[in-house]
Amino acid sequence: MKVVVGPDPSLIYRPDMGTEAAKDQGSFRNYTSGPLLDRVFATYKLMHTHQTVDFVRKKHTQFGSFSCNKMTVMEAVDMLDSLVDESDPDVDFPNSFHAFQTAEGIRKAHPDKDWFHLVGLLHDLGKVLALWGEPQWAVVGDTFPVGCRPQASVVFCDSTFQENPDLWDPRYSSELGMYQPHCGLENVLMSWGHDEYLYQMMRFNKFSLPPEAFYMIRFHSFYPWHTGGDYRHLCSQRDLDMLPWVQEFNKFDLYTKCPDLPDVDQLRPYYQELIDKYCPGILSW
Residue numbers in the known binding site for substrate are: 29, 85-87, 127, 141-142, 220-221
Binding residues for Fe cation are 98, 123-124, 194, 220, 253
Neighbours of 28 (CB within 10 A): 15
Binding residues are 29, 85-87, 98, 123-124, 127, 141-142, 194, 220-221, 253
Alpha-carbon span 252 to 246, nearest angstrom: 10
The answer for 177, left when phi > 0, alpha when psi is -120 to 50, beta otherwise, is: left
Residue 14 exposed, middle or buried by CB count within 10 Å (0-12, 13-18, 19+): buried
